[in-house]
Structure 1
Amino acid sequence: MKFWLVGLLRVAWVAGTLPIIIASLPSSRLHLFHEALMGFAKRGKIMHSSSYHRYAVWRSVFLLLLMETQVLRRLVETVYVFKYSPSARMHIFGYLTGMFFYTAAPLSLCCNLTPELFRFVADLLAEFTIKGKSHMPAFESDLLGSVDNLLKLRCLQWIGAAIFLQGWTHQRRCHAILGSLREHAERVDDYVVPHGDWFEIVSSPHYLAEIVIYAGLLVASGGEDLTIWLLFGFVVANLVFTAAETHRWYWRKFDNYPSNRYAIIPFVY
């Protein structure tokens, strides 16, 4: 028992010391390892002096705000825009996949800063609850300060937001077109070839717009996080696969389907 305990303690101290020694070596190849270790070791003035850390937190807040506008619009469209056929069904796997996606996607946008973001929201709500209406001017001042921090984000975030908005706008238009088709159908189960907006170039422009939306989020994130790249890869793979099946269905369903339309990527696929 004695020798087992001694050995365990020695291994623990070696395991704790070795990463510090490695991170201290003056090698550019160890830069990422050094930064990762510093992420765990920061405290006091080192923790609070990191302007990049504050920027990363506000960048994550920005990404989540963009994601929220997408989720809320999709919710509104599901309730008020789409006219689903009474015979329409979804496989339970598709339903569970959707639940997983809309839980995992926002978390993927901020996974490296989740504790800080939760603390930010909790502090904001606590301050509003405690101060109440009697301190509303102070709360409004803090809120304006938050907006000012968002406006100080870098050019890359605003380029990503512009790409996001482009996809968001076209997806809204395409969903409106799809929602209007059933209103003009003779029977509830009739299908009509959609026209307008990006439907003139691809069969699934709403999927193309979704890819543009997540490309915008990827650009706005700075492209530094592998998790967001994996999220984008999943979105592209899933939508390209579904769009290809939709494109083939259109060709089988309609004899006069426009021959100049691609499945999802204009002039490519």
Structure 2
Amino acid sequence: AAGVMVAVLAAAWALLAAAFLAALLLRRVPARRPGGVVCGLFQDLIRYGKTKRGGGRRPAWLRLLQVPKRWFTHFYVVSVLWNGFLLVWLFQAGFLGGSLPAWIQHMHHALGRDTQSEDMGNEHFSALLVFLLLWLHSCRRLAECLWTSVFSDGVIHIVQYCFGLGYYIAVGSTVLCQVPTNIRNGKELSVQTCWYHIVGVTMYIWASLHQHRCLVILANLRKSKSGKVVSLSHSVPSGDWFERVSCPHYFAELLIYVSMAIILGFHNVTWWCVVAYVLFNQALAAVLCHEFYQENFSSYPKHRKALIPFVF
């Protein structure tokens, strides 16, 4: 039964990835056409911030369903709190011989793996390491939202907002489900570092550094040399990975999730489904952003791709 539930979890992420792939392929459906209410709602759901402005004039009822883009910060508050809470309990269970609260054990028992394997120690450590990196990633992004990024008056749909809140709870819960059952039952963890842990952590640090640099570049476009915000308008970024793609911070996000798949030992199908979701989610956002730059800046560099250098 546990194996079936693990497959269901992977399938859920795969379906989510497929939904965003479909949205990516259908993004050019115009908002004003027969059945325009549905098309307008679709465009409103896939766009946010500056790309929403290019989606045509929205009806008043749609404008009632939007919240400030700066509320992105709430996603990382939820992630830091929820995933931090789970990380503390997992650390206690893994290193101090404690046990998780009963409600967490019950919630994830169906998704846990009760079978033992020779690589169980590595699976324990890999899952804990991914949890730690996911939490650190959320902490950094929260700090960047609070003290680095300069948000304009852009908006996001309330559905996007609620989805974002749920996403970080779901992704943390998915990592928890990768932890073999016996770590949740008070068995202490023996740390075994493997080569793929080193590769994954190195890739994570590399991608995180570049993501931070790119977010600083975006923020500096709206600041004076003294650091004072002087504009909320959009302009063409340059430097670092911006020389190759329009949205290098999205590309870095994808690499961060790939690094976690590596840390889990390459073979974790569920996490690769999460990576597929991140790929198509970030690809959709990147393409819309790329098209915005091309439509609004006639001198926009022709060689830049949307998300992945030289590829897409």
1:88 and 2:144 aligned: no
1:112 to 163, 171, 178: 178
C-alpha RMSD of matched pairs (Å): 2.4
Q: TM-score, length-normalised on structure 2?
A: 0.58
- Residue 238 of structure 2 is aligned to residue 171 of structure 1: no
Contact 1:214 1:232 in 2 (8 A): yes
Indicate which of 238, 261, 267 corresponds to 1:218: 261
3-state SS, counterpart of residue 289 of structure 2: helix
Which residue pairs with 1:196 in the alignment? Answer: 239
The CA deviation at 1:236 is 0.1
1:181 positional shift? 1.1
How far apart are 1:255 and its partner, in Å? 1.2
How far apart, CA to CA, are the structure 2 residues paired with 1:188 and 1:97? 30
Query: 1:119: how far off?
Result: 5.2
What stretches of structure 1 of length at least 5 have no aligned partner?
1-38, 125-145
- 1:226 deviates by 1.8
Q: Does the C-alpha gap of structure 1 residues 94 and 118 become closer, same or farther in structure 2, counting only changes over 3 Å?
A: farther
Cα-to-partner distance string for 1:202-223 (whole Å, 9 max, x where unaligned): 0000001111111101111112
| Residues 207 and 264, structure 1, Cα contact 8 Å, conserved in 2 | yes
Q: TM-score if structure 1 supplies the norm length?
A: 0.67
The percentage of aligned residue pairs carrying the same residue is 29
Q: Which runs of 5+ in 2 are unaligned?
A: 1-112
Q: Is the 8 A contact 1:61 1:117 kept in 2?
A: no
Whether the 8 Å contact between 1:57 and 1:116 is mirrored in structure 2 is no
The 2-side partners of 1:160 and 1:196 are apart by: 25
CA deviations over 1:42-90 (Å, ceiling 9, x no partner): 6xxxx7xx653232111111111111111100000111111112x2222
Aligned residues: 197
Match of 1:247 among 290, 303, 310: 290
- Alignment partner for residue 194 of structure 2, among 154, 158, 161? 154
CA distance in 1, matches of 2:176, 2:266: 13
User: Could you tell me which amino acid in structure 2 is paired with residue 112 of structure 1?
Assistant: Q
What is the alpha-carbon distance in structure 1 between the residues aligned to residue 185 and residue 283 of structure 2?
38
Structure 2 counterparts to residues 40-189 of structure 1, below 5 A: 40=114, 52-85=119-152, 87-113=153-179, 116=182, 149-150=190-191, 152-184=192-224, 188-189=231-232
Match of 1:230 in 2: 273
Q: How far apart are residue 235 of structure 1 and its match?
A: 0.1
Letter in 1 for 2:284: F
Alignment CA distance shift 1:117-1:68 (3 Å)? farther
Task: Determine which structure has the larger helix proportion and give its number.
Answer: 1
How far did 1:99 drift?
1.1
SS of residue in 2 equivalent to 1:72: helix
